[in-house]
Amino acid sequence: MRTKLPFLIGMLLLLGACGTAKRGLRDGVYSTREGRAMVQVIDDTVSVRPIGADTMRTSSSYPSIVSSSDAPAPLRLLQHSLDVDLLTTLVKFRPAAADQPPQLETHLSGSLYVGYRVDRYDLWYPDIGYARRSRKETHTGLSMGLFLGLGGTSMSPWTTQQTLQTEYTGVVLSHGAALISAIGSVTVGCAVGRDHLLDDNAGSWIHEGRPWLGLVFGLNLN
């Protein structure tokens, strides 16, 4: 386990840094409390233009700095999208099986994840003094979907009911469902999956096809 810690920490830092692909507010169509709107980010200004038949509604601008008297009301934007991620399972919890106690596994795995995602952006203007206000923005995202990929697992006499007399790292096909949350620059979630060993010892492996719970980190691909 000690030899894996630097690698695990490196993966955490990499995925935490790369998991920001959808974090910043970008041009596109969003939902507001009043309806759908086209959002454009031009330099330091966010422009929100309503979409629809209601021509009486006009565009709104949210610059980075405004006077206290001109500060716009808080704004919430929602964006719905297809989510395609690369998932890494850092820890798997396997329930007890065949008289063996529950196990924690730290073999890394890579899976392709496809799901439905909702991103929420909140814009508001806290007071910064001198009769001025500065625009603040927070982002949270939530995604649910399915994954399929490859990973590793520890094979030994204890995980094969003494059928195997050696130890090695087996390759498994993993599939299941995941719930992923993005808060700021961190994309993390939980998964429920099943593994299928891709060699001749699958029939004696005590965890073959059994469900597990896992901690996953995601790298957004779209």
Q: What is the pLDDT of residue 108?
A: 83
Residues of the chain with pLDDT under 70: 1-23, 53-57, 184-185
Residues 93-152: pLDDT tens digits?
999 999 899 999 999 899 999 999 999 999 999 999 999 999 999 999 999 999 999 999
Q: Which residues contact 69 (CB under 8 A, 6 or more apart)?
A: 131
Helix, strand or coil, per DSSP, at residue 69: helix
For 176, the token pair is 């299941």
> What sign has the CA pseudo-torsion 14, 178, 3, 167?
negative
